[in-house]
Each structure stands twice: as C-alpha cells, then as structure tokens.
Structure 1
Amino acid sequence: MRMDNGVLHLDTAIKHYAHTDRLISGAISDPLVKLDCVKVEPIHRAFAPMARKQAYDVSEMAIVTYLQAKAYNKPLIMLPTVVAARLQQGCIVYNAKRGHMDISDLAGARVGVRAYTQTTGMWVRAILAQTYGMLSENINWITFEGSHLAEYEDPAFVTHAPEGKNMLDMLLAGELDAAIFGNDLPGNEGIVPLIPNPVEADRIWYEQHRFVPINHVIVMHREVAEKTPHSVKSVYRMFKQGKADAKPTPGIPNKLPDGISGIRQPLEMILDFCNTQQLLPRKLGLDEIFADSIAFLGEDAQ
C-alpha cells in the first residue's frame, strides 16, 4: 500500500479472466484507488503468501483457504464477490487404459488431489458424499502439497505422496486409482471422468441447487481496510463493474454472484462440507464471516 499524488496504490494478485482483464489493464479504475496487479501463475501460488503473511493488499483466494484463514484469525477480510466458480463433476478422473472404474470402486482406492484443502477437492468430495454416498474417510487420499495455512494438519486418512512424485505421472503409472484436477485437467488419452456423463450430472446438480460451486473470492489485508476504509468500497465496486462489463463465462449458467444475498446459500453449504471433511479447526458461522462485509461496505454488502 502506498500513496502517490493522492491515489492509493494496492498491490493486487488476481488471475486474468474475462471479468478481471479490464481491472488488470486499468480500464476500470477509481479516482482514489489503483490496483497494481502482479502476475502470479498459477494463481493458487498467491494464496499461501496472502494467508500466512498478507503478502498483497488485495488478492484472489480459494474460499476454503479464506475460511481456514478466518478460523485461524488471520488479518484478512473477504469481499462478497466471487471471481471463479466451476461445475465440478468432471474434475475427478481415472486412467481407463488400466481398466474400468465406477464410483463404488473409490472405497479403499488411492485418489490423488493437489492438497486435501484444495477447494475443488472439497467440492468433489462433497458431491461424492451427498449425491453418490461415497464418504471421504472411506477413500485413501494422496496429496502433493500441504495446506496454505501452516497451522492446519491433514486428517489421518490423508497421505503425502513420496517426494518428487507427480500426480498425473502416478495416475498414468497406476500408482493412483483416480485423481482430482482443477484448471490443470489433463487431456491425455485414456484419462476419462469417473462420474458418468459429468455434464448431465452437473446440469442436474445445478437444477437442484441453482448456483455454480464457488471456488475463488477476493480478500483484502485487514490493516489496509482499517487504515483506508474507503478503499474497500472502491475495490468491491471495481470487481462488480468488471463482471457487469464482461461477456458471460462459458460453462457458467449464471453470473458470478456478488453480495451477501448472492453467496449466502453456497457459503452455508461450504461451511457444512468443511466441517464434515475436517477442514476447519473450529466452527464458523455466517454472521462471523459476513461481519466484515457489513462493517466496511454497509448496505452495499447486501
């Protein structure tokens, strides 16, 4: 955070999306606040530095990472604006060249995921349990990274892969029975979705719940918000404007939600899933999470 000729400059880590490109380029701006965007690729590499050390003033962050940071009392505030969401049922795959696999085969299977705390992994496990009756604790989870929060320890049914191992290579070699991928979903021959017809399965899930599973939100360093409270409204307005100006995102049947009313239902569900999957050190309530939005944004938070 720095002032330059009366303009507050905020170090910002966000990914290029259709709805953030104009923020990154400066086409969407504010007379008193400027987002100085830094490139972090892939964007999840920004989450641990932001959660642990508040390395940026503003950052995109996975919702599970934010909830863990909140539970560990890290000095962050969440803005009620979603920047990434995805229908999730095509994200768990297996190697069909090594034989057919059904959801029922997951019991006792070795399933890879980048980190147990990865938000996509949380959603896939939740859907497996809620829709297909396959509980997380009945699967042997193999991870390749730890949590973005140093304080968190994985549950006992989670094992870290041997040093130097790669999830895709292990899946291809048969060292994993299945794996969950996010934006890095592989296109290798024989790697196919575990859930049959995931597009139709996602359509049914969406019709039941009427929202797209949230992956990433925007957070700010609490110190920045408290020292310059006007900046919170400015940042929130710019992200909302970016989405209003952007063309619809392919694969997302509705606009990415803003405001407490837009994220209350999915966040309530996410909290339940996080508790069930042993992702949080303590229970969080919606009132605690939304208190910052109300304090800094007032009526705009709704």
Structure 2
Amino acid sequence: MAEPVTLRAAIGRYPHSAAVLDGTAASPILRIEDAGISPVNRAFAPMVREGRFDLSEMAIATFLMAKEAGRPLVLLPVVMAARFQEGALLCPAESPLRGPTDIAGRRVGVRAYSQTTGMWLRGALADAGVPPGAVRWVTFEDAHEPGYRDPPWAERAPAGSDMLAMLRGGALDAAVFGNDLPQGEPLRTVFPDPGAAAKTFRTAHGFVPVNHLLVLRRDVAAAHPEIAPEIVRLLGGRTPPGGRAGLAPALLLAARLCADQGLTRRALNLDEIWDGTPLTVP
C-alpha cells in the first residue's frame, strides 16, 4: 500500500477541524501536518504570495482577488468559517448613528479594505442604499494580494495608529471588527438589530455569509487529485450540502460584491472560480 500523502496545512482550530489537527480523525491516504499558524489569517498572505503551505484556509475575498491575479491556487468546497456580519460594525455607544444609512459620509475603520468581513458588510450597506464610495474607509494594512491598490474612497491611517483608539477618540465614526470583538468597551452595533438583519440576509440569499474556505496549491492538487475528496470528507463539517453546487450562491454573490467594491476588476464566474479543482471533487 502506498504511503499517505502528507500536506503541510495552515488551518484554524474549530469543532470540525480539531480532530483532524490532533490526528484522531485519520485517513489511509492523507496526513495533515499542522503548520501551527495562529491566528490563521496570518497564513493568507504567505499562501497567496509564495505558496508557503500545501493546504491553507483562506478568506473568500482574498481567494477571489488571488484567483483573478493568476495565483496558482485551487478551491475546495469546504467552509471553515461562516457567520452573519452585521454585529461586527461597531460605533461608540453615544454615537448619533442610528442605522446603516447614517454611515454615508462617515469615516469607518477596517483592518484592510480587502477584509472579507468588510466586503460582506459593504454589501449589506449597499443593500440599505449606501454604496461603497459613499463612505470614507480608513485602512490599517495592505491586502494579502500584493498587486492590489485600495480604491480612491479608502485612505490609510497614520502609521502606528490603532483602530480601537481612533474609534474611542472620535477620529473614526465606526469600525469593522473581526471575530474578536472588543470587550468592556462602550460600543454598540450600527445595525440596531443585527439578528433581524441576519434573518433578512438569509431570506434574501439563502445562506450564511462565508468567511473562510480551503485552498490547495495548484501543483499539489494536480499531482494528487485523489486527496481532494478526502480533504472534503475530513474537513467539510461547516459546508452546505451539495458540494460545489451548494456553495455556488455564496461564491457568486461574493464575486459580484468584490467587483462592485473595486476588489476585483470584474466578477469571476463559477468556471473561473473552480478552475484547477480536481474533477474528483463533486
């Protein structure tokens, strides 16, 4: 029997991935070697720019930007992280902002303009009547895709600035935070009822917004097409049913939003998004 293929992987620890990372969910044809990257978003830039890992978690906006740029990455239909985003847009508790439409003309901080949480939130704001260019987006770092430049309606915060401190001090009217929301701060959500906004999104689109997926290096996928379905089996615990077809609505909306917001030049289609994914993956 052939030796299992060993993949050096940058994957976050979640309920559906812990057993794989611990080695208790075993495979006869595949071994996952944990690269130990924490938080996992630190893996995105080196994966995009130099293909540092065989297998990596990756934010959906980062992947779409990298795919358009011709990076040798292939997508697997595996959702690693997904959540509704409206609770991540925060403002001071005493802010005059009373809802998403009040964001127009304001200064909103975001780690990077390309951050996936920001991409989904800008889509929600656009649905409320506030297009991306109606807000002054203040960024703190570059995109993971090195060839990308922020659009004219984004500006870089002064070097060494802290987003939370700027929000506290009034230099920002609101800010987009990731999974780790500030604790013990006098802040509230810009969306008055994030739960209701989430229900509205799900009714309109039928899915929970996808934050992170899995990608393989193209050379690894081509050399070992048999391992892709095994990765999906081992790590597909957050994935909608139906494989590629089940993910199509989220991918197509994300591709459209990336184009609308200036993250990509145009919306990639599904054939382009899945280019290079082994045919063994349904």
* Bin for the TM-score computed over the shorter chain: over 0.9
* 1:56 counterpart letter in structure 2: F
Partner of 1:248: none
> Is structure 2 residue 262 aligned with structure 1 residue 286?
no
Aligned to 2:249: 265
Deviation string 1:122-164 (CA, Å, 9 cap, x unpaired) is 000000111x111110100000111001000110111011111
The residue identity in structure 2 corresponding to 1:257 is: P
Matched, 1:256 2:239: yes
Residue of structure 2 in register with 1:172 after alignment: 168
* Aligned position for 1:250: none
1:98 to 1:198, Cα distance in 2 relative to 1, 3 A: closer
**CA RMSD between the two structures:** 1.5
Measured in 2, the distance between the counterparts of 1:237 and 1:98 equals 47
The aligned residue for residue 144 of structure 2 is 148
Note the residue ranges of structure 2 that are not aligned, 5 or more in a row. Answer: none
Q: Deviations over 1:82-136 (max 9, x none)?
A: 1110011111010124555443331221100010000000000000111x11111
> Partners in 2 of 1:53 and 1:34 — Cα distance?
22
TM-score, normalised to structure 1's length?
A: 0.88
- For 2:134 and 2:33, locate their aligned partners in 1 and report how far apart those are by CA, in whole Å: 45
2:32 aligned with 1:35, yes or no?
A: yes
Which shifted more, 226-235 or 19-28? 226-235
Question: How much does 1:63 deviate?
Answer: 0.5
Q: Which amino acid aligns with 2:10?
A: A
What is the CA–CA distance in structure 1 between the aligned matches of 2:104 and 2:203, rounded to whole Å? 28
SS of the aligned residue for 2:108 comes to: strand
1:18 aligns with 2:15: yes
> Relative to 1, partners in 2 of residues 1:152 and 1:103: Cα closer, same or farther, differing over 3 Å?
same
Partner Cα separation in structure 2 for residue 45 and residue 281 of structure 1: 25
Q: Distance in 1 between matches of 2:263 and 2:246?
A: 24
**TM-score (normalised: structure 2):** 0.95
Residue equivalent to 1:46: 43
CA–CA separation in structure 2 for the residues paired with 1:178 and 1:231: 44
Q: Matched residue of 2:226: which SS? A: helix
Would the alpha carbon gap of residues 70 and 100 (structure 1) be closer, same or farther in structure 2, given more than 3 Å must change? closer
User: Following the alignment from structure 1 to structure 2, what is the Cα–Cα distance between the partners of residues 228 and 54?
Assistant: 16
Aligned to 1:209, which of 190, 205, 211?
Answer: 205
CA distance in structure 1 between the aligned counterparts of 2:217 and 2:165, rounded to whole angstroms: 38
8 Å CA contact retained: 2:97, 2:190: no
Answer yes or no: is 1:190 the counterpart of 2:174: no
Partner of 2:92: 95
Candidates 111, 114, 131, aligned match of 1:135? 131
Alpha-carbon distance in 2 for matches of 1:106, 1:283: 26
Runs of 4+ in 1 over 3 A off after TM superposition: 97-102
